[in-house]
Structure 1
Amino acid sequence: MNLDAVSIALAQISFTIKTLSKKNFKSSLAEIANLVSEHGFEAERHLYRTLISYLDLQSIEQNSSLIKRSENIHLNYWLQEIPFLISKPNFVTLICYAFDTAITQKSLKLPLSSNEFLSSLCKLFKLNRAQELIFVFALQNSTHTELQLLTHEHIQQRLPEFIRIASS
């Protein structure tokens, strides 16, 4: 078996996320940050794709209280990463790749029509209104029509409220 350094790094990121726990949280995050720094975009893209696959997004819409923030170590990782992720120039690429891959692999099933999914997701990620708009506008670039429709509905609903609040 002949694996290159990037393939090994991606496997290490997957393994580290899979074995993430409260005990190894800080050291795991440092290890992943080092791998991403060393191997660049491909490792970063793999990180978010893998991380989203560990979130139980199906239960968000059913009952958001099912996901307890303190007990969900992968969600805690997202909460730590999302403010930095949103500020990156390649945010749209990273977030769309993560969601598109999850949808394609059927680890994420989208509701047919519901603004509550995106609203609940934004609440779960503790996004403020500006971050919510950035996040949803980014997801509008998804390759999946279902996600594009959800984001369009969400923007139509939330943008007037955001403008009203921003102008007052």
Structure 2
Amino acid sequence: MIHLSETRRIELALPARMLASLSMGNSFSCLNRIGGVTNKHDFAKLVEVRLWLHIAFWEPFSDYDEMECYRVRRRLAKLQDLVLAELHDQPGLKALYAILYWLQSITSGENPVLVLVAGSYADKAVTRLLAWGEAQGEITKGIEKIDRSAQKQAAKIGALLNHMGFYLGGSNG
């Protein structure tokens, strides 16, 4: 078994945790403003995405005991709150785009910092969220401010995490 540092494990888990947090909101078209289900089929897909993200979030810590999981869960919650603080009062679509733009920046290029394994739970969840984001983008076409703002926020997320020692590239495991 490959040994991963806790920093690397957090880097693997954080995107899934942030997306899972966002998926718990009422930003999806299958839910109304108070969280009521408006489309059962799409809601079932959202529940599936939430499950995939939960599994992806815990995979890097599968060999941790209960106390280690409790400790790392608290650490990740604090990190997520800090990173997403500026997105709390923003439209759900902007928050989704910001996280996905940031995720794209660390998973693409010649030397990606993070690799989503094709067919993994994280990959399936991100693929579905991207499709939903694109569909929502079609609905909100013409609102370029959201897209530009999300790109700026994604850069801020990356800079903050880099400043904290995460996603710096190279061998971090």
Normalised TM-score (structure 2): 0.34
Which of structures 1 and 2 has the larger relative contact order (alpha carbons within 8 angstroms, sep 6+)?
2
